[in-house]
Amino acid sequence: MSLQQPAIFCNMVFDWPARHWTAKYLSEVLHGKQIRFRMGMKSTDTGRNTVPQFETTCSYVEATIEEFLAWNCDHSGISGPFRDYDHSKFWAYADYKYFVSLFEDKTDIFQDVIWSDFGFPGRNGRESTLWIGSLGAHTPCHLDSYGCNLVFQVQGRKRWHLFPPEDTPFLYPTRIPYEESSVFSKVSVVNPDLKRFPQFQKARRHVVTLSPGQVLFVPRHWWHYVECTDPVTVSINSWIELEEDHQARVEEAITRMLVCALKSAEDPHNTRAWLNPTEVEETSHAVNCRYLNRAISAFFDHSGTSKGVKTQELKTNGEDMKKDELNVYHLMEVEQTGSQNLTLETVKQEVASSFGPDLLPVLPSSEKPPSERGGIFESDDKDFVGKGGEHFGKLHCTKRQQRMSKSENATVGQIASNHAMAHSQTFISTDDVLDCLVNPQVTKIVAQLLIQGRSL
């Protein structure tokens, strides 16, 4: 059983104690505990920025949830940690708050989150992350290198913009700012600069508004931009490990080594410009070499097969992926040359019989501009059922996802177009080189070559 496209689960968490985890409730549970809020500028309808608001451009505040809620009520003349931030101009986001750190002395609360209901025995809040945000708070468009994602919306609503992995060339991937396991898009997907990023017009956007009580499934390597659309939002998520993660960690180690080496050489005293604030580990070359060697050793430890067999398996997978690239590319070309309305109607008809009232597929948006409507769904899975007494198995992604891009030509075209716009095309920066060296396609090949070389 596999689910390869986003879907929303309904009526699955009605009996979870965490259903009542509003920001007010959490402020009482975590009374007096300071957490870090990311502060960003709100966008206006007439002046949305065409540049993503990366975490390296944000400021940060240490505050309690009580202080956040008081500021969020828009009280004029408020004192405290938010005093320098006009509520009408800024949003606040307590993101990536791991339960094990947040509730370190209240571990019983882990049982309030019951991911085992989704087919993962024993999985609860210990493997979860909390998100609390104000209106407009968002994460830049990115894909996660590891696993798939389950997101439970507790309070308020969030609008998700999702793009399939095979559209990666159209999202203009970059590893600056660097964060392990996050590949960012250079495009502001809610207000794209199509002169600079013309290929983005080909990306297939899926838009859905996640409401309280719903759980969104985000498959491996699906791009997503997420924005809070209510005054206060609370979400809980868990990243589910997958078999592919073992090679992905080798790819991430290669990426880390290259980014840190080149960017540190360029400016050894200014890591803030390129290193995400979430990255707190040492970035020296010696440390990164050890990290890479541990990732490769872990790959072989997990494989449990002879090195010769593993080499053959990698070669076979490489051949299969080339075939998949051609098939995906052909399919996409057919879809893009046909009528989009007709395609959407066909998709809706095909998935109508595959989903019941408790599982809703996420469909591609019928509009090219950013959609302001929620509840658009698409998927093609046939095996999921609700929580009303029927059998529900463990979520599985396919053993080998389709290649993230459709062809070498598409990727080369995407990279080249980054430098064909303004006068800056005559100057090749360190970031330009890195965008090529740590492109997801390239790091995948390097990882496979390293593994094959180790197996000889």
SS3 421: coil
Residue with the larger pLDDT of the pair 207 and 336: 207
70 token code pair: 């008081």
pLDDT of residue 272: 85
Query: Which of the residue ranges 127-136, 227-236, 324-333 would you say has the lowest mean pLDDT?
Result: 324-333
Cα(303)–Cα(315) distance, integer angstroms: 15
Whether the CB-CB separation of 352 and 360 falls below 8 Å is answered with no
Q: What is the pLDDT confidence band of residue 331, given thresholds at 50, 70 and 90?
A: very low
Strands 223-228 and 158-163: antiparallel
Q: 36, 51 in Cβ contact below 8 A?
A: no
Q: Which of 125-129, 172-176, 364-368 has the lowest mean pLDDT?
A: 364-368
Q: What is the mean pLDDT of residues 60-80?
A: 88
Residues 424-436 have pLDDT tens digits of 455 788 888 899 9
pLDDT of residue 372: 36
If pLDDT is split at 50, 70 and 90, which confidence band does 369 have? very low
pLDDT one-digit tens code per residue, 435-447: 999 999 899 999 9
DSSP state of 275: B
Q: What are phi and psi of 64, to 5 degrees?
A: -85, 165
Q: Which residue has the higher pLDDT, 207 or 398?
A: 207
Helices and strands in the chain: count of H runs, count of E runs: 10, 15
Amino acid 26: pLDDT: 98
Residue 398 has pLDDT above 50, yes or no: no
Q: Which residues pair with 335 in a beta bridge?
A: none
* pLDDT for 240 beyond 70: yes
Q: Is the pLDDT of residue 177 over 90?
A: yes
Q: Note the pLDDT of residue 268.
A: 84
**pLDDT classification of 4: cutoffs 50, 70, 90:** confident
| pLDDT of 40 | 96
pLDDT at residue number 392: 34
Summarize pLDDT for 191-237 with one digit per residue, the tens.
999 999 999 999 999 999 999 999 999 999 999 999 999 999 999 99
Distance CA 62, CA 247 (A): 36
Q: What is the mean pLDDT of residues 254-270?
A: 91
The residues, ordered by sequence, that sit 6+ positions from 337 with a Cβ below 8 Å of its Cβ are: none
Mean pLDDT lowest among 104-113, 243-252, 364-373, 422-431? 364-373
CB proximity list for 136: less than 8 A, separation 6 or greater: 40, 42, 43, 91, 227, 228
* C-alpha span between 375 and 213 (Å, rounded): 14
Query: For the segment 93-107, what is each residue's pLDDT rounded down to a tens digit?
Result: 999 999 999 998 899
pLDDT interval class at 245 (50, 70, 90): very high
Task: Give the residue from 379, 393, 447 showing the smallest Cα distance to 145.
Answer: 447
Within 10 angstroms of residue 408's Cβ, the number of other Cβ atoms is: 12
CA 339 from centre of chain:
30
Under the banding of pLDDT at 50, 70 and 90, the label for residue 348 is very low
pTM score above 0.85 = no
What pLDDT is stored for residue 430 in this prediction? 86
Higher pLDDT, 178 or 388: 178
Q: Are 150 and 115 in contact (CB under 8 A)?
A: yes
Nearest one of 48, 439, 116, 40 to 255, comparing CA atoms: 439
Indicate whether 164 pLDDT > 80.
yes
pLDDT at 157: 98
Pick the range with the lowest mean pLDDT from 135-144, 350-359, 418-427. Answer: 418-427
- Predicted confidence band at 356 (pLDDT cuts at 50, 70, 90)? low
Coil vs helix vs strand at 156: coil
